[in-house]
Amino acid sequence: MARTKITVDRNELEEQIRLAESSQVFSSHFALYNYIANTDWARNHIKPLTPSVIMLRIKEFNIAINTQKGVPLGIVGLVQSHSNIREDKIPSDQRKKIVHRMMLDIPEKYHKLIKPALRGSAKAAIKLKCLDCTAFQKKEIALCECISCPLWTYRPYKA
């Protein structure tokens, strides 16, 4: 069965972004998408808007947002090769900063993936990166069509 596209009015979305960004500073794009998804505007839409739908429409409409991209989870830089990175290879003060930042940016139900990723688990790192890319929507990972992504072949939650 084909998925139906959720239509969003560009001007209304731009207005919601402007209101959100003028009310507070967001730590990442995901935080902005999540904030907008929790507004009355998004919840009372014909079909409630999720953070991933908001992300997709912003990209589709090529809407410029002021919020800076979040720190890319700190994982890609830590897991650059297939070698095993042990906890002692990352200084404890740097580790604490990375874990704290990740705890803020990653929904609680995915916190269990942080330590394995920092220890060098490619599987956990890929799962976190794919979740980050899709605004933590597992369903969107399975439906991902970005075949140019180097992680596409290895993405979790495949259909």
Segment 21-40, tens digit of pLDDT: 999 888 888 889 989 999 99
Residue 73, pLDDT score = 46
Query: CA angle, corner 70, sides to 85 and 7, nearest 5?
Result: 125
Rounded to whole angstroms, how far apart are CA atoms 21 and 88?
39
SS (H, E, C) 33-65: HHHHHCCHHHHCCCCCCCHHHHHHHHHHHCCCC
pLDDT in tens, 90-119: 667 777 788 888 888 888 898 899 888 888
- The model's pTM is 0.49
Q: Tokens standing for 93?
A: 């003060």
DSSP letter for 122, please.
Answer: H
How do the domains of the chain map onto residue ranges?
Answer: 10-61, 87-154
Cβ atoms within 10 Å of 98's Cβ, excluding its own: 20
CA 152 vs. chain centroid, Å, equals 15
